[in-house]
Structure formats: C-alpha cells, structure tokens
C-alpha cells in the first residue's frame, strides 16, 4: 500500500512537471518577443504586457529579456498607467545603467509624473517629481536630445509651481493670515523671478506688509 501511494505521488509529480514544461515550451523566447511586438505596434498594450511578462518569467536570461522589460514600461505608459510605468522604467534603469536608452528612460519617468500634473490649486507633488527627474536627466546627460526636450517641460513645471505658490499666497491673504502669505509671495520672487507673475507678487507683498503694520499698530 505504501509503495502504491509513493508511486501515485511520483506519477502525479511527473505529470504535473510534464504539464508545466509543456505550457512553458508552447512558445519560444523569439515567438513571445514577436507576439509582444506585434501587439505593441498594433496598440494592444495589455496583450503586449502579457507576452513580455511571460518572456521575462520563462526566459530571464534570453537576449530578449531587456526588450521585454523596456516594452512593458512603454506599454504601461501608453495605457496611462503611470505608476506602473514608473516602476517598470526604474527597474530597467537599475538593471541596465549603461544602456544607451537610459536618457530616454529617465525622460519617460519624468513624463509619467508630468502627465499627472493637475491645476495650480491642487497638490503639486507630481510636478515636483517631474521637475526633479528632468533636472537629473540634464545633470547626467546634458548634451542628450532628451535633455533638451526636458527643458521645455521644466518651464511648464515651474509655471505650475509658481502658480500654486501664488494661489496659496492669495488664499492666506484673503484669510487674513498675512505673515504666511508674505512668505509665499517672497518665495515667488526668489524662486520664480521670470515667469510673468513678478509684478503681482510684489503687489501682494506691499499689501501684506501694509496689513501687518496696521495690525501691529492696533496692538
């Protein structure tokens, strides 16, 4: 009876193993890469992700593995699943720090945050991350074509951050919190002097200083 049980277990394991390898061997690395690229180029990004993930998992040492990693990130980006795209792009950069695509990868990480930029009255954390990423790209690869492209987006990031500072400053001013308002307007002058809101910030600085002085005189 014991021998029968052992034999049954062995058979089950063998059959299970055969089934596993049959599934794995249904497609080669080349076939999965071809399927992934065909889906990607046809705009079927989720299908592309599925093929490339299989390629990564089944053939991690294949010469197509880095292609799969790259295209997974790109597919998430085009699906507008930006958080997943950032993770995939960052993984690629960590695994292939000397790859010629790294400047583009950093640029795309910045773009993932940039695409999530909201109006000036909203949280600006994505804008700050985009700005930091673009500045890192310029610092590491100052002459790369993607560094030049990043500069255009940097200007938009700075406008958004400046607009947010102005919005918060005006909110504080209207709420009669003149000192924090004054601090915001002064930071605008220092950090964003060339974005077209310099005169407005100076006007509110004068108003804040006047209101602070009047309150002090009342006390």
pLDDT at 17: 42
- Residue 205: which pLDDT band, with cuts at 50, 70 and 90? very high
Helix, strand or coil, per DSSP, at residue 26:
coil
CA-based nearest residue to 208, from 187, 171, 182, 172:
182
For 142, other C-beta atoms within 10 Å of its C-beta total: 9
- Residue 31: which pLDDT band, with cuts at 50, 70 and 90? very high
Domains of the chain, by residue range, sit at: 26-79
- Name which of 11-15, 21-25, 93-97 the model is least confident about: 11-15
Helix, strand or coil, per DSSP, at residue 42:
coil
Distance, in Å, from the CA atom of 49 to the CA atom of 76, rounded to the nearest integer, reads: 8
The pLDDT tens digits of the residues spanning 99-134 come to 999 999 999 999 999 999 999 999 999 999 999 999
- Residue 216: which pLDDT band, with cuts at 50, 70 and 90? confident
Region 65-90 average pLDDT = 98
What one-character-per-residue DSSP string does 44-90 give? -HHHHHHHHHHHHHH-TTSTTHHHHHHHHHHHHHHTT-HHHHHHHHH
What whole-number percentage of the chain has pLDDT above 70?
A: 88
pLDDT at 25: 53
For 72, other C-beta atoms within 10 Å of its C-beta total: 28
For 34, other C-beta atoms within 10 Å of its C-beta total: 14
Pair 162, 197: CB distance under 8 Å: yes
CA-based nearest residue to 137, from 95, 107, 114, 98:
107
Region 61-65 average pLDDT = 95
Helix, strand or coil, per DSSP, at residue 31:
helix
pLDDT at 23: 53
Distance, in Å, from the CA atom of 175 to the CA atom of 208, rounded to the nearest integer, reads: 12
Region 139-165 average pLDDT = 95
Region 47-53 average pLDDT = 98
Region 171-197 average pLDDT = 91
- Residue 20: which pLDDT band, with cuts at 50, 70 and 90? very low
Q: How far is CA 69 from CA 4, 75, 79, in A?
A: 47, 10, 16
pLDDT at 195: 76
- Residue 208: which pLDDT band, with cuts at 50, 70 and 90? very high
Mean pLDDT of the chain: 88
- pLDDT > 90? residue 18: no
Distance, in Å, from the CA atom of 119 to the CA atom of 205, rounded to the nearest integer, reads: 24
């Amino acid at each position: 009876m014991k021998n029968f049980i052992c034999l049954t277990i062995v058979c089950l394991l063998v059959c299970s193993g055969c089934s596993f390898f049959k599934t794995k061997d249904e497609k080669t690395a080349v076939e999965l890469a071809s399927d992934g690229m065909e889906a990607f180029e046809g705009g079927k990004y989720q299908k592309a992700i599925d093929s490339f993930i299989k390629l990564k998992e089944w053939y991690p040492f294949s010469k197509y593995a880095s292609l799969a990693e790259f295209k997974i990130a790109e597919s998430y980006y085009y699906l507008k699943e930006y958080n997943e795209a950032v993770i995939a792009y960052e993984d690629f950069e960590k695994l292939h720090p000397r790859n010629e695509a790294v400047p583009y990868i950093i640029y795309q990480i910045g773009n993932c945050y940039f695409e999530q930029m909201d109006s000036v009255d909203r949280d600006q954390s994505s804008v700050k991350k985009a700005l930091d990423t673009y500045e890192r790209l310029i610092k590491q690869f100052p002459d790369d074509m993607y560094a030049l492209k990043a500069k255009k987006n940097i200007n938009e990031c700075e406008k958004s951050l400046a607009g947010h500072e102005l919005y918060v400053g005006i909110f504080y001013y209207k709420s009669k919190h003149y000192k924090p308002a004054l601090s915001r307007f002064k930071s605008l002058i220092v950090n964003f002097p060339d974005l077209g809101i310099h005169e407005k910030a100076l006007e509110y600085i004068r108003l804040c200083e006047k209101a602070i002085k009047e309150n002090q005189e009342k006390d």
